[in-house]
Structure 1
Amino acid sequence: MQQQHPKDRRSFDYVWRSMVAGGTAGCVAKTSIAPFDRVKILFQASNPEFKKYAGSWTGVFKALRPIYNENGVRGLLQGHSATLARIFPYAAIKWAAYEQVRHFYAPSESQVTPLSGFLSGSTAGLISVLCTYPLELIRVRTAFKTRHKGRVRLGDVMRDIYHEGQPPPPKSATTAKYSRKLLNKVSVLKFYRGFSMTMVGIIPYAGTSFLIFEQASKSQHIRTLFTSKGASDLFCGGMAGAIGQTAAYPFEVIRRRMQVGGLLHPDRFVNFNETCSLIYKQSGYRGFFVGLTIGYLKVIPMNAISFATYNFTKRLLLKDN
């Protein structure tokens, strides 16, 4: 990435330009893989109508056919408006936070280490998820719905989440009792279903992705393979996405199942232990990697485009500064 003087990086001008570049990169990258993203959610959440397609490369494309036949292009992009509403602030915050946190952990380039790179990425990921998680839950719920024709309205999705069942009564734990009581009183917390697993999963995913990209970008061997910075960013970003996805994927599957738990079991709250037990009972350890094939099809190009677009857009925005 193009490096700036530390004073410039801390300035408001640098921060907002980083946010614009990050938000733009996120929207471009997500739009490029939107149909795959929808199918991946259906696979991960074990949608009954699409379980038969999961588990193979060809299943990915076979799953696209009934979606298209049912609702055309609109069906392939179902939930994408919610995706864009979430991804711009998410990516903007993530990239701006990364720039700032990276400087905090390593004020100068000579102090940059693999550990500081991992910590910078994971911290930025945690900050961005904390700020935008309700939008992510709404996006997943919108993409999961397949049972009726026509548009899925965001207002209806939000209303369903708000009115879903409460957690089952705890057996003894005081903390659990307090958590249930809090959820009963503050229904907005239902928009944070699966949040704990998201926080756990984002650490290896974001940390590994940023670490691999930084290290690969510095590799002299990779630099000699590509004549342009854009091509190098695409390659390094794709590699970072593949490794990061593999490291964090089981957490993502658990998170998806918890996020749609209210749809499959609207009368109650499906917790972490129950979700893990159900996944293992249905598919064994392979169940924690269901959809990984389509995950690669999605994440490799998405990360490649995201890193390349961010660096390109940031260079344009900062070239006169």
Structure 2
Amino acid sequence: MSHRRVEACDSWRPPPVPGHAPALLLRAGNPWGRSCPPCAFASLSVREGGAAAVKAEDVGEEKERTLAQVAAEVSGTKGKMPPVAQLLKHPLALLALVPSSVALFAAGAGAGAVAKTVTAPLDRVKLLMQTHSVRMAGESTKGIGFVQAMAEIGKEEGIKGYWKGNLPQVIRIIPYSAVQLFSYEVYKKVFRRKDGELTVFGRLAAGACAGMTSTLVTYPLDVLRLRLAVQSGHSTMSLVALNMLREEGLASFYGGLGPSLIGIAPYIAVNFCVFDLMKKSVPEKYKSRPETSLATALLSATFATLMCYPLDTVRRQMQMKGTPYNTIFDAIPGS
């Protein structure tokens, strides 16, 4: 059985006299002269088993490490659960025990939920404009404009109507993000080369496959969101889901899945390529600025959305109840 011995000592001593000290100061009683008070020189040494383990020196102050901190590191008690009394006094200290990956995921999910809620009115207007031809089949062939859709929502449903269908979208964020992050790591291993490197094509393929996987898993919530957003009256998410299952069957929850999966790959590819090209074209002195990254990401995402928007319109029309389109080939010319 081995015994561990920890020794600690601290001492205060004047600093050594530099070799280039002026002769005038050396003639005085104080090596540094009477006009200059001696500075405190702290030395702290901790030895385990007779061997020096830690040594910290500080001129003028003892801020960096205390004896208690060093002893805690030596004895291995650092990083354990804080005492109950300390937690009761500072309950937010529990957040320090949350792993960084979990904290980042929770922050991303919360930010996504807030962003979707803020932009929900614009998103509902977009859905009404995309599905107008299907909803008004046989009544009107003319599309609906942005201002007209905004006024129609406020007139028929009031302020709450602008956030109609937002709940399933917010609920969808957490599983969508979780599946996407997990599957992306899996697909990166699949597309990695034999030497362990991941090429640009490999990253694009892994990102596209991860996007398709997360879309497939959470697609029923996306259909529910559309049905709630475009139908008239006030219904709950559970009531709409039960009606869809009873009247249209399980397949109704996956209407328009084809164009959704097809649109993910070009969206990710265009977004990635445009972002990379724009990043390279920015002058070197502006590349490290956060506003540059924000503007580049915004422009690349906007360009990718414009390129893939027709597939999104087809998807929305195929998600509607009573849609005349059975396949993507029927919906593209009909839209």
Q: CA deviation at 1:16?
A: 4.0
Q: CA deviation at 1:64?
A: 1.0
- Aligned Cα root-mean-square deviation (Å): 3.2
Letter in 1 for 2:266: P
Letter in 1 for 2:296: C
Structure 1 residues 227 and 254, CA, compared in 2 at 3 Å: closer, same or farther?
same
Gaps (5+ residues) in structure 1? 1-11, 166-186, 280-321
- Say if 2:258 is the partner of 1:188: no
Structure 1 residues 99 and 118, CA, compared in 2 at 3 Å: closer, same or farther?
same
Q: Give the aligned partner of residue 157 of structure 1.
A: 240
- Say if 2:264 is the partner of 1:202: yes
Matches of 1:102 and 1:196, distance apart in 2: 24
Letter in 2 for 1:274: D
Matches of 2:152 and 2:119, distance apart in 1: 18
Structure 1 residues 217 and 271, CA, compared in 2 at 3 Å: closer, same or farther?
closer
Matches of 2:278 and 2:100, distance apart in 1: 22
Matches of 2:322 and 2:110, distance apart in 1: 32
Matches of 2:100 and 2:203, distance apart in 1: 20
Q: CA deviation at 1:141?
A: 0.8
- Structure 2 residue matching 1:135: 3-state secondary structure: helix
Matches of 1:140 and 1:66, distance apart in 2: 17
Matches of 2:240 and 2:283, distance apart in 1: 46
Which structure would you say has the larger Rg?
2
Kindly report which structure 2 residues correspond to 1:130-141, keeping only aligned pairs within 5 A, or say none.
Answer: 130-141=216-227
Structure 1 residues 51 and 122, CA, compared in 2 at 3 Å: closer, same or farther?
farther
TM-score by length of 2: 0.59
Q: CA deviation at 1:112?
A: 5.2
Q: CA deviation at 1:138?
A: 0.5
Q: Give the aligned partner of residue 248 of structure 1.
A: 308
Gaps (5+ residues) in structure 2? 1-97
Matches of 1:65 and 1:259, distance apart in 2: 24
Structure 1 residues 278 and 52, CA, compared in 2 at 3 Å: closer, same or farther?
closer
Structure 1 residues 258 and 264, CA, compared in 2 at 3 Å: closer, same or farther?
closer
Structure 1 residues 138 and 127, CA, compared in 2 at 3 Å: closer, same or farther?
same
Q: Is the 8 A contact 1:20 1:92 kept in 2?
A: no
Structure 1 residues 251 and 133, CA, compared in 2 at 3 Å: closer, same or farther?
same
1:68 to 150, 154, 165: 154
Kindly report which structure 2 residues correspond to 1:228-247, keeping only aligned pairs within 5 A, or say none.
Answer: 228-229=289-290, 231-247=291-307
- Structure 2 residue matching 1:163: 3-state secondary structure: helix
Q: Give the aligned partner of residue 276 of structure 1.
A: 332
Which one has a larger percent helix, Structure 1 or Structure 2? 1
Q: Deviations over 1:177-197 (max 9, x none)?
A: xxxxxxxxxx43331111122
- Say if 2:119 is the partner of 1:36: no
Q: Which of the pair has the greater relative contact order for Cα pairs under 8 Å at 6+ separation? A: 1
Kindly report which structure 2 residues correspond to 1:91-240, keeping only aligned pairs within 5 A, or say none.
Answer: 91-98=177-184, 101-102=187-188, 105=191, 111=197, 113-145=199-231, 147-148=232-233, 151-165=234-248, 187-213=249-275, 215=276, 218-219=279-280, 221=282, 224-225=285-286, 228-229=289-290, 231-240=291-300
Q: Is the 8 A contact 2:279 2:287 kept in 1?
A: no
Structure 1 residues 221 and 196, CA, compared in 2 at 3 Å: closer, same or farther?
same
TM-score by length of 1: 0.61
Letter in 1 for 2:309: Y
Q: Structure 1 vs Structure 2: percent identity of aligned residues? A: 28
Q: Give the aligned partner of residue 80 of structure 1.
A: 166
Matches of 2:186 and 2:293, distance apart in 1: 21
Structure 1 residues 95 and 120, CA, compared in 2 at 3 Å: closer, same or farther?
same
